[in-house]
Amino acid sequence: MYTAMSDVDFWKDKSVLVTGGTGSFGRKFTELMLRHCELSRLVIFSRDELKQHQMRQCFPDDTPDSPMRYFIGDVRDLSRLQRAMRGVDVVVHAAALKQVPTCEYNPIEAVLTNVMGTRNVIEAALDAGVGRVMLVSTDKAVNPANLYGATKLVAEKLFVHANVYSGDRSTRFSCVRYGNVLGSRGSVLPAFLERRATGRLPVTDGRMTRFWVTLDQVIHFVARSIRQMQGGEVFVPKLPSMNITELARAVAPECEVEYVGIRPGEKLSEVLLSEDEARHAVELDDMYVIRAANRYLAHSWQMGRPLPEGFRYASDTNPQWLAMEELRSLAELASR
């Protein structure tokens, strides 16, 4: 699944900007883009000076042939985004406050970054004439149970309807939506690995299931979706599910599992595609595409098979599951 960067020729001589570019997604995106593609520029836009300094050690910008550029800036600052996007062909919008407890405790800050920041990305991209803009979203945007998911749902809606707002401009907006990323900052796997030495692993609920994807797979899927986007779609990859208790046992079979209860805003299972969305979504061999419900964009995507009535793509009813051996392999990979 998604083992090679899609259509290297598409990316040749492109100027690409990544918001939140010093995060887990941005660093892996940079690594794979530099390895596979011949970009003219790769702009890392983020607000953390230290993380940019650390990233610059791996991906330097001090040679004449380096495509790397580092912009200090915040998506809350429209004027800085406008300056950064000049001459950019593709924007990947990955900047967000994404930790559920943090967003719950700081709701206005989450709205300012995840909603108003997304609006600023749209405005700046339109002003700069960017060709393609892709929002990185999450399964938590479907029937949201917490503020983070709610802000990402709003961000998705803003992106989809920005295609109407763009009018006769060539700028197009789409979204990718996926599940939990193996080993990303703040995810459960690093937490399990850190607590393994204590002999006890805290698990919220033994029934909890999640979609699971590696960072490499995410990057390849995003790159492919950017190439295929026509504007207004939400791209959803087909992913395996895993049970949280089985993951704990795969990471540390010698540890005792301690059930601590679901935190506020958590769900027992995640949904990547709801029954309501399925009515205007289509299925391809390895992904679903949610077409825009807006009548002005309804015919933007023609490929794929219609989904059956009442279809729902959820982690607890998913036909594809990670076996224990696969979970152990993933755990070993993340611990290196």
**Active-site residue set:** 140
Burial bucket for residue 169 (CB in 10 Å: 0-12, 13-18, 19+) = middle
| Torsion angle (degrees, nearest 10) of CA 188, 193, 194, 198 | 110
The CA–CA distances, whole Å, from 299 to 143, 277, 280, 291 equal 25, 15, 11, 8
Closest CA to 17 of 66, 87, 113: 87
Instruction: Give the start-end residues of each E strand in the chain.
Output: 15-19, 41-46, 68-72, 90-93, 132-138, 172-178, 180-181, 200-203, 209-213, 234-237, 241-243, 256-259, 271-273, 281-283, 287-290, 305-306, 313-314
In angstroms, the CA 225 to CA 90 distance is 12
